[in-house]
Amino acid sequence: MKVALRDDDTSYFTSPARLQSVYRDVWTRIPVCLATVPFTVGYRRPGIPEEHWNSAEAFALERNPALVDELRRLLEERRITIALHGYTHQDYANGYEFQAAPDPDRRVSDGRAYLERLLGTKIGVFVPPHNALSKRGLAAVSAAGLNLLGSFLSFRPSMRPWELRTPVNYWRIARFRAATSRRRHDRFVYPFVLRYRRHAEFACHSLIPGTTLDELVSGFEEARSVGGDFCLATHYWEIDDEMYRTLVGFLDYAAGVPDVRFVAADELFA
C-alpha cells in the first residue's frame, strides 16, 4: 500500500523557516509534495499580508530567493517534490481560478514551464486551487498530460470532458459508493487511481483544523481493506501543535502496518 503527503500553497509568500518548522521531522520519513503557485496574487489567508489580499499584483516565486534556494536544496535531498498549484491562485467574482480564469490552457503550460525552469525539476502533477475545477479547467490539465491530485473532485460526467473512460470511471465510483453503503451525497474518498486518456486522478483525505487521528485511520483502513492507496493533504500555514500531533500520529500508525510504503505523490500514479 502506498501512502503520500501533499501540502498546498507554497508561493512567494512562504517562509522557508515556516516550512522547516512544520516538516523538518516529517520529510525525513515521507517526501512532501509541495503544491506550488508560480505567480501568486495575494488572497485572504494567514501568512499573506493583509494589504495584498485585494491587490491584483502577481508575485513571481523567484522574488523570494531564499525560498527558491531552499526548494532546490530539498529537491536535491529528495525531501520534497513539486506540483503545479494553479498559476496565480486568484479568486474571481464567479469562481476560483480554474473555474473562472479565461485562459486555463496558458496558465497550465506557462506555470509548469516556469517552475520547471526555476527549480530544475520535472512536474507531472496538478493540484487545483481550492480543489475546484470547471470542465474547461480539467480539459486544460488533461491536455497538458498532468495527473490530478485533488480532494472532493466531482465525478459527474457532466462536469468532465467526454471520452470513453468517463462512464466507466463513473460506474467504478458508483459501485464503490454502493459497496460502502454511502448515499449519493455522502462524503468519501475513492482510494484508487482513475485513468483517462491523457491524465489520471487520485483523491486525497484532508488534514484541516478539527480533523482527528481516528478519522484519518478510518479512511486509511478503508483504503487498505480494498487494496487501495492513501494520500493526505494539508496546508503548512494551518498546522498548529494539535494538527502536527495528528499528522505525526497518523504517520506512526501507518508505518506500523505491514507492506505500507511512504512514497512521493507522483508514485501514486505509477
How confident is the chain (270 residues) per 10-residue block, as mean pLDDT? 98 96 97 98 83 86 98 98 97 92 97 98 97 93 96 70 87 91 84 95 96 98 97 97 98 97 98
Q: Return the C-alpha cell found at 125.
A: 502533477
Predicted confidence at residue 15, as pLDDT, reads 95
Contacts of 266 (CB under 8 A, 6+ apart): 33, 81, 124, 125, 147
Q: How many CA atoms lie within 13 A of 123 on its CB side?
A: 31
Contacts of 105 (CB under 8 A, 6+ apart): 140, 143, 144
Element (H, E) at 100: helix 97-100
Predicted confidence at residue 11, as pLDDT, reads 97
CA distance 259 to 255: 9
Contact 84, 119 (CB under 8 A): no
Q: What three-state secondary structure class fits 35?
A: strand
DSSP secondary-structure letter at 157?
G
Contacts of 264 (CB under 8 A, 6+ apart): 4, 31, 33, 78, 81
Q: Are strands 230-235 and 2-10 parallel, antiparallel or unpaired?
A: parallel
Predicted confidence at residue 210, as pLDDT, reads 97
* pTM of the shown model: 0.95
Q: Which of 135, 24, 140 is nearest to 79 (CA)?
A: 24
Q: pLDDT tens for residues 7-46?
A: 999 999 999 999 999 999 999 999 999 999 999 998 778 8
Query: With respect to CATH, is domain 2-269 assigned 3.20.20.370?
Result: yes
Cβ-based neighbour number of residue 263 at 10 Å: 20
Residue 142: exposed, middle, or buried by beta-carbon count in 10 A (0-12, 13-18, 19+)? Answer: buried
Q: pLDDT tens for residues 114-131?
A: 999 999 999 999 999 999
Q: pLDDT tens for residues 54-69?
A: 788 899 999 999 999 9
Q: Return the C-alpha cell found at 22.
A: 512544520
CA distance 33 to 261: 15
Q: What burial letters (b/e) apply to 76-89, b meaning 16+ CB within 10 Å?
A: eeebbbbbbbbbbb
Predicted confidence at residue 155, as pLDDT, reads 65
